[in-house]
Protein backbone atom coordinates (compact mmCIF):
# COMPACT_ATOMS: atom_id res chain seq x y z
CA UNK A 1 0.00 0.00 0.00
CA UNK A 2 2.77 2.42 1.00
CA UNK A 3 4.67 1.30 -2.07
CA UNK A 4 1.68 2.09 -4.27
CA UNK A 5 1.38 5.52 -2.67
CA UNK A 6 5.04 6.24 -3.34
CA UNK A 7 4.64 5.14 -6.94
CA UNK A 8 1.60 7.39 -7.28
CA UNK A 9 3.58 10.34 -5.93
CA UNK A 10 6.41 9.61 -8.35
CA UNK A 11 3.95 9.40 -11.23
CA UNK A 12 2.33 12.68 -10.16
CA UNK A 13 5.67 14.47 -10.01
CA UNK A 14 6.57 13.23 -13.45
CA UNK A 15 3.15 14.22 -14.71
CA UNK A 16 3.73 17.68 -13.33
CA UNK A 17 7.02 17.97 -15.17
CA UNK A 18 5.52 16.65 -18.39
CA UNK A 19 2.60 19.03 -17.98
CA UNK A 20 4.99 21.95 -17.89
CA UNK A 21 6.49 20.72 -21.15
CA UNK A 22 2.98 20.65 -22.66
CA UNK A 23 2.49 24.18 -21.37
CA UNK A 24 5.55 25.38 -23.25
CA UNK A 25 3.83 24.42 -26.49
CA UNK A 26 0.44 25.75 -25.36
CA UNK A 27 1.96 29.14 -24.47
CA UNK A 28 2.59 29.95 -28.12
CA UNK A 29 -1.07 29.33 -28.97
CA UNK A 30 -2.23 31.49 -26.06
CA UNK A 31 -0.01 34.44 -26.96
CA UNK A 32 -1.32 34.72 -30.49
CA UNK A 33 -4.93 34.06 -29.53
CA UNK A 34 -4.71 36.59 -26.72
CA UNK A 35 -3.42 39.36 -28.93
CA UNK A 36 -5.27 38.72 -32.14
CA UNK A 37 -8.09 36.28 -31.50
CA UNK A 38 -6.48 33.89 -33.98
CA UNK A 39 -6.16 30.23 -33.15
CA UNK A 40 -2.79 29.60 -34.75
CA UNK A 41 -3.00 26.12 -36.24
CA UNK A 42 0.62 26.51 -37.36
CA UNK A 43 2.04 26.76 -33.84
CA UNK A 44 3.10 23.10 -33.77
CA UNK A 45 4.90 23.53 -37.09
CA UNK A 46 6.52 26.71 -35.77
CA UNK A 47 7.96 24.65 -32.91
CA UNK A 48 9.39 22.23 -35.44
CA UNK A 49 10.59 24.96 -37.80
CA UNK A 50 12.37 26.77 -34.95
CA UNK A 51 14.11 23.58 -33.82
CA UNK A 52 15.08 22.65 -37.39
CA UNK A 53 16.51 26.12 -37.89
CA UNK A 54 18.47 25.86 -34.67
CA UNK A 55 20.14 22.54 -35.49
CA UNK A 56 20.64 23.54 -39.12
CA UNK A 57 22.36 26.81 -38.25
CA UNK A 58 24.39 25.26 -35.48
CA UNK A 59 25.71 22.47 -37.72
CA UNK A 60 26.42 24.90 -40.56
CA UNK A 61 23.93 23.27 -42.89
CA UNK A 62 23.30 25.17 -46.11
CA UNK A 63 19.58 26.00 -46.30
CA UNK A 64 17.83 24.74 -49.45
CA UNK A 65 20.96 22.71 -50.28
CA UNK A 66 19.04 20.07 -52.24
CA UNK A 67 17.27 22.72 -54.30
CA UNK A 68 20.46 24.69 -54.95
CA UNK A 69 22.37 21.57 -55.93
CA UNK A 70 19.58 20.33 -58.17
CA UNK A 71 19.29 23.66 -60.00
CA UNK A 72 22.98 24.57 -60.28
CA UNK A 73 24.53 21.12 -60.32
CA UNK A 74 26.66 21.93 -57.28
CA UNK A 75 27.34 19.72 -54.26
CA UNK A 76 27.22 22.17 -51.41
CA UNK A 77 25.79 20.92 -48.16
CA UNK A 78 27.69 22.59 -45.34
CA UNK A 79 29.27 25.93 -44.52
CA UNK A 80 31.81 23.98 -42.51
CA UNK A 81 31.19 25.72 -39.21
CA UNK A 82 29.79 24.55 -35.91
CA UNK A 83 28.26 27.46 -34.08
CA UNK A 84 28.25 27.75 -30.28
CA UNK A 85 24.84 26.95 -28.80
CA UNK A 86 24.14 30.51 -27.66
CA UNK A 87 24.91 31.98 -31.07
CA UNK A 88 22.73 29.35 -32.78
CA UNK A 89 19.84 30.05 -30.42
CA UNK A 90 20.15 33.82 -30.96
CA UNK A 91 20.24 33.41 -34.74
CA UNK A 92 17.26 31.05 -34.65
CA UNK A 93 15.32 33.59 -32.60
CA UNK A 94 16.11 36.17 -35.27
CA UNK A 95 14.85 33.80 -37.97
CA UNK A 96 11.60 33.44 -36.01
CA UNK A 97 11.28 37.24 -35.92
CA UNK A 98 11.81 37.36 -39.69
CA UNK A 99 9.17 34.64 -40.06
CA UNK A 100 6.75 36.70 -37.98
CA UNK A 101 7.37 39.72 -40.22
CA UNK A 102 6.79 37.59 -43.30
CA UNK A 103 3.55 36.16 -41.88
CA UNK A 104 2.29 39.65 -41.16
CA UNK A 105 3.37 41.05 -44.54
CA UNK A 106 2.14 38.23 -46.75
CA UNK A 107 -0.88 36.90 -44.86
CA UNK A 108 -2.23 38.83 -41.91
CA UNK A 109 -2.24 42.33 -43.34
CA UNK A 110 -4.67 41.21 -46.00
CA UNK A 111 -6.99 39.74 -43.42
CA UNK A 112 -7.53 42.63 -41.03
CA UNK A 113 -11.18 42.78 -39.89
CA UNK A 114 -11.91 39.35 -41.30
CA UNK A 115 -13.85 36.78 -39.30
CA UNK A 116 -11.73 34.71 -36.88
CA UNK A 117 -12.54 31.57 -38.86
CA UNK A 118 -10.92 33.12 -41.95
CA UNK A 119 -7.78 33.86 -39.97
CA UNK A 120 -7.87 30.33 -38.58
CA UNK A 121 -8.04 28.88 -42.08
CA UNK A 122 -5.14 31.10 -43.11
CA UNK A 123 -3.06 29.56 -40.33
CA UNK A 124 -3.97 26.08 -41.60
CA UNK A 125 -2.55 27.10 -44.96
CA UNK A 126 0.47 28.55 -43.21
CA UNK A 127 1.02 25.28 -41.33
CA UNK A 128 1.13 23.22 -44.52
CA UNK A 129 3.31 25.78 -46.27
CA UNK A 130 5.73 25.95 -43.36
CA UNK A 131 5.94 22.17 -43.12
CA UNK A 132 6.98 21.89 -46.76
CA UNK A 133 9.16 24.99 -46.60
CA UNK A 134 10.97 23.70 -43.51
CA UNK A 135 11.58 20.35 -45.17
CA UNK A 136 12.84 22.03 -48.35
CA UNK A 137 15.06 24.35 -46.32
CA UNK A 138 16.60 21.86 -43.90
CA UNK A 139 15.76 18.38 -45.23
CA UNK A 140 13.59 15.69 -43.69
CA UNK A 141 16.32 13.75 -41.89
CA UNK A 142 16.43 13.35 -38.14
CA UNK A 143 18.92 15.69 -36.49
CA UNK A 144 20.32 15.19 -33.00
CA UNK A 145 20.20 18.33 -30.85
CA UNK A 146 23.70 19.31 -29.82
CA UNK A 147 23.03 21.50 -26.79
CA UNK A 148 24.54 21.09 -23.31
CA UNK A 149 21.24 20.16 -21.70
CA UNK A 150 21.11 17.90 -18.64
CA UNK A 151 19.47 14.54 -19.35
CA UNK A 152 18.77 11.38 -17.40
CA UNK A 153 17.67 10.60 -13.91
CA UNK A 154 18.47 13.12 -11.19
CA UNK A 155 20.79 11.26 -8.81
CA UNK A 156 20.23 13.86 -6.10
CA UNK A 157 16.47 13.38 -6.04
CA UNK A 158 16.78 9.63 -6.37
CA UNK A 159 19.19 9.26 -3.44
CA UNK A 160 17.35 11.82 -1.27
CA UNK A 161 14.00 10.09 -1.73
CA UNK A 162 15.59 6.69 -1.28
CA UNK A 163 17.04 7.74 2.08
CA UNK A 164 13.71 9.25 3.16
CA UNK A 165 11.22 6.68 1.81
CA UNK A 166 13.27 3.64 0.89
CA UNK A 167 12.33 4.18 -2.78
CA UNK A 168 14.26 6.46 -5.12
CA UNK A 169 12.04 8.68 -7.26
CA UNK A 170 12.73 9.09 -10.94
CA UNK A 171 12.83 12.67 -12.13
CA UNK A 172 14.42 13.50 -15.48
CA UNK A 173 16.95 16.33 -15.29
CA UNK A 174 15.73 17.55 -18.67
CA UNK A 175 12.24 17.96 -17.24
CA UNK A 176 13.63 20.02 -14.37
CA UNK A 177 15.46 22.22 -16.87
CA UNK A 178 12.25 22.57 -18.89
CA UNK A 179 10.34 23.60 -15.77
CA UNK A 180 12.93 26.30 -15.08
CA UNK A 181 12.75 27.56 -18.67
CA UNK A 182 8.95 27.60 -18.51
CA UNK A 183 9.02 29.51 -15.22
CA UNK A 184 11.38 32.14 -16.62
CA UNK A 185 9.32 32.44 -19.79
CA UNK A 186 6.02 32.83 -17.96
CA UNK A 187 7.41 35.35 -15.52
CA UNK A 188 8.97 37.36 -18.34
CA UNK A 189 5.79 37.30 -20.37
CA UNK A 190 3.58 38.30 -17.46
CA UNK A 191 5.89 41.20 -16.62
CA UNK A 192 6.11 42.16 -20.28
CA UNK A 193 2.35 42.17 -20.70
CA UNK A 194 1.70 44.04 -17.46
CA UNK A 195 4.40 46.65 -17.34
CA UNK A 196 5.87 47.37 -20.78
CA UNK A 197 4.42 49.88 -23.23
CA UNK A 198 4.22 47.25 -25.95
CA UNK A 199 2.61 44.87 -23.49
CA UNK A 200 -0.13 47.40 -22.73
CA UNK A 201 -0.62 47.95 -26.44
CA UNK A 202 -0.89 44.18 -26.89
CA UNK A 203 -3.59 44.02 -24.26
CA UNK A 204 -5.42 46.90 -25.88
CA UNK A 205 -5.38 45.13 -29.24
CA UNK A 206 -6.55 41.96 -27.57
CA UNK A 207 -9.49 43.80 -25.98
CA UNK A 208 -10.65 45.66 -29.08
CA UNK A 209 -8.86 45.97 -32.43
CA UNK A 210 -10.88 48.98 -33.57
CA UNK A 211 -10.45 50.93 -30.35
CA UNK A 212 -6.74 50.18 -30.31
CA UNK A 213 -6.39 51.40 -33.89
CA UNK A 214 -8.31 54.57 -33.08
CA UNK A 215 -5.77 55.55 -30.42
CA UNK A 216 -2.87 55.04 -32.80
CA UNK A 217 -1.72 51.55 -31.97
CA UNK A 218 -0.36 49.84 -35.05
CA UNK A 219 -2.12 46.54 -35.37
CA UNK A 220 0.46 45.28 -37.87
CA UNK A 221 3.34 46.10 -35.54
CA UNK A 222 1.62 44.36 -32.64
CA UNK A 223 1.02 41.28 -34.77
CA UNK A 224 4.71 41.13 -35.70
CA UNK A 225 5.66 41.43 -32.03
CA UNK A 226 3.29 38.75 -30.84
CA UNK A 227 4.10 36.27 -33.62
CA UNK A 228 7.79 36.86 -32.90
CA UNK A 229 7.30 36.10 -29.22
CA UNK A 230 5.24 33.02 -30.07
CA UNK A 231 8.02 31.92 -32.41
CA UNK A 232 10.65 32.34 -29.70
CA UNK A 233 8.47 30.45 -27.21
CA UNK A 234 8.15 27.79 -29.92
CA UNK A 235 11.94 27.69 -30.14
CA UNK A 236 12.16 27.01 -26.39
CA UNK A 237 9.56 24.24 -26.72
CA UNK A 238 11.36 22.81 -29.75
CA UNK A 239 14.64 22.67 -27.85
CA UNK A 240 13.10 20.85 -24.89
CA UNK A 241 11.09 18.35 -26.94
CA UNK A 242 13.85 17.98 -29.54
CA UNK A 243 16.27 16.98 -26.78
CA UNK A 244 14.08 13.96 -26.12
CA UNK A 245 13.85 12.55 -29.62
CA UNK A 246 16.13 14.48 -31.91
CA UNK A 247 14.69 17.11 -34.21
CA UNK A 248 12.37 15.46 -36.69
CA UNK A 249 9.03 16.15 -38.27
CA UNK A 250 7.11 14.26 -35.60
CA UNK A 251 7.90 17.18 -33.29
CA UNK A 252 4.98 19.06 -34.79
CA UNK A 253 2.64 16.37 -33.44
CA UNK A 254 3.24 17.69 -29.96
CA UNK A 255 0.70 20.39 -30.81
CA UNK A 256 -1.92 17.65 -30.33
CA UNK A 257 -0.95 17.59 -26.68
CA UNK A 258 -1.32 21.36 -26.38
CA UNK A 259 -4.95 21.36 -27.52
CA UNK A 260 -6.49 19.81 -24.38
CA UNK A 261 -4.25 22.06 -22.32
CA UNK A 262 -5.75 25.08 -24.06
CA UNK A 263 -9.29 23.78 -23.74
CA UNK A 264 -8.72 23.33 -20.06
CA UNK A 265 -6.69 26.41 -19.22
CA UNK A 266 -8.44 28.83 -21.52
CA UNK A 267 -7.16 30.27 -24.78
CA UNK A 268 -6.30 33.68 -23.37
CA UNK A 269 -4.56 33.01 -20.10
CA UNK A 270 -0.82 32.47 -19.68
CA UNK A 271 -1.19 31.11 -16.11
CA UNK A 272 -4.09 29.03 -17.49
CA UNK A 273 -1.75 27.41 -20.02
CA UNK A 274 0.63 26.47 -17.24
CA UNK A 275 -2.03 25.18 -14.88
CA UNK A 276 -3.87 23.44 -17.71
CA UNK A 277 -0.66 21.71 -18.71
CA UNK A 278 -0.02 20.55 -15.17
CA UNK A 279 -3.59 19.22 -14.74
CA UNK A 280 -3.39 17.36 -18.06
CA UNK A 281 0.09 16.05 -17.33
CA UNK A 282 -0.68 14.84 -13.82
CA UNK A 283 -4.17 13.64 -14.76
CA UNK A 284 -3.10 11.51 -17.71
CA UNK A 285 -0.18 9.98 -15.85
CA UNK A 286 -2.24 9.11 -12.78
CA UNK A 287 -5.09 7.74 -14.90
CA UNK A 288 -2.65 5.54 -16.78
CA UNK A 289 -1.05 4.43 -13.50
CA UNK A 290 -4.34 3.34 -11.95
CA UNK A 291 -6.14 2.09 -15.07
CA UNK A 292 -3.25 0.40 -16.86
CA UNK A 293 -3.63 -2.89 -14.97
CA UNK A 294 -7.35 -2.90 -15.78
CA UNK A 295 -7.60 -1.70 -19.38
CA UNK A 296 -4.07 -2.30 -20.64
CA UNK A 297 -2.49 1.12 -21.13
CA UNK A 298 -2.27 3.55 -24.08
CA UNK A 299 -4.82 5.76 -22.34
CA UNK A 300 -2.96 9.05 -22.35
CA UNK A 301 -3.92 10.20 -25.77
CA UNK A 302 -7.68 10.07 -25.34
CA UNK A 303 -7.72 10.74 -21.61
CA UNK A 304 -6.31 14.26 -22.03
CA UNK A 305 -9.13 15.15 -24.40
CA UNK A 306 -11.75 13.52 -22.22
CA UNK A 307 -10.56 15.51 -19.22
CA UNK A 308 -10.61 18.72 -21.24
CA UNK A 309 -14.11 17.88 -22.45
CA UNK A 310 -15.37 17.46 -18.90
CA UNK A 311 -13.93 20.85 -17.98
CA UNK A 312 -15.55 22.37 -21.06
CA UNK A 313 -18.98 21.16 -20.02
CA UNK A 314 -18.75 22.96 -16.70
CA UNK A 315 -16.55 25.89 -17.69
CA UNK A 316 -16.61 26.50 -21.45
CA UNK A 317 -14.14 29.37 -21.29
CA UNK A 318 -11.57 27.18 -19.53
CA UNK A 319 -10.15 27.70 -16.06
CA UNK A 320 -8.80 31.20 -16.62
CA UNK A 321 -10.32 32.13 -19.96
CA UNK A 322 -12.36 35.26 -20.32
CA UNK A 323 -16.06 34.64 -20.12
CA UNK A 324 -17.76 35.93 -23.23
CA UNK A 325 -21.14 37.50 -22.58
CA UNK A 326 -22.97 38.82 -25.60
CA UNK A 327 -26.06 40.89 -24.76
CA UNK A 328 -28.90 41.32 -27.18
Could you list the residues that contact another protein (CB under 8 A)?
7, 10-11, 14-15, 18, 21, 66, 69, 73, 77, 131-132, 135, 140-142, 144-145, 151-153, 170, 172, 241, 244-246, 248-254, 256-257, 284-285, 288-289, 292, 296-298, 300-301
Minimum CB distance to another protein, residue 66 (Å): 7
Q: Least CB distance from residue 275 to another protein, whole Å?
A: 19
- Cα(first)–Cα(last) distance of the chain, in Å? 57
Q: Which is nearer to another protein, 205 or 236 (CB)?
A: 236
CB of 2 vs another protein, minimal distance in Å: 14
CA distance 281 to 266: 16
Q: Which is nearer to another protein, 77 or 192 (CB)?
A: 77
Smallest gap from residue 247 Cβ to another protein (A): 9
Helix axes 2-36, 197-207, angle to 10 degrees: 80
CB of 229 to another protein, least distance (A): 24
Please provide the DSSP assignment of 171-220 as one string. -BHHHHHHHHHHHHHHHHHHHHHHHSHHHHHHHHHHH-HHHHHHTT--HH
- Give the CB-side neighbour count of residue 290, counting CA atoms within 13 A: 10
Residues whose CB is less than 8 angstroms from the CB of residue 55 and which lie 6 or more positions away in sequence, other chains included = 61, 138, 143, 144, 145, 146, 242, 247
SS3 145: coil
Q: Which is nearer to another protein, 132 or 316 (CB)?
A: 132
The 3 state secondary structure assigned to 80-105 is: CCCCCHHHHHHHHHHHHHHHHHHHHH
| Residue closer to another protein (CB basis): 4 or 188 | 4
CB of 17 to another protein, least distance (A): 8
What is the 8-class DSSP label of residue 249? G
Query: CB-wise, 89 or 243, nearer to another protein?
Result: 243
Amino acid sequence: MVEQLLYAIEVSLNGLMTGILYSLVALGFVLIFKASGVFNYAQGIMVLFAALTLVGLQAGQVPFAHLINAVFGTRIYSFGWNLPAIAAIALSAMVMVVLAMAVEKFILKFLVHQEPVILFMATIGLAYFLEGFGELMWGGEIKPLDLPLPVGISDTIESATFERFGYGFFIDKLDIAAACVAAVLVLSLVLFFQYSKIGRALRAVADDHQAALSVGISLRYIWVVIWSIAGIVGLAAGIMWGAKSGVQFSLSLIALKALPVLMLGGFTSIPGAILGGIIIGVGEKLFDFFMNPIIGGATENWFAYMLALIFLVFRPQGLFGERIIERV
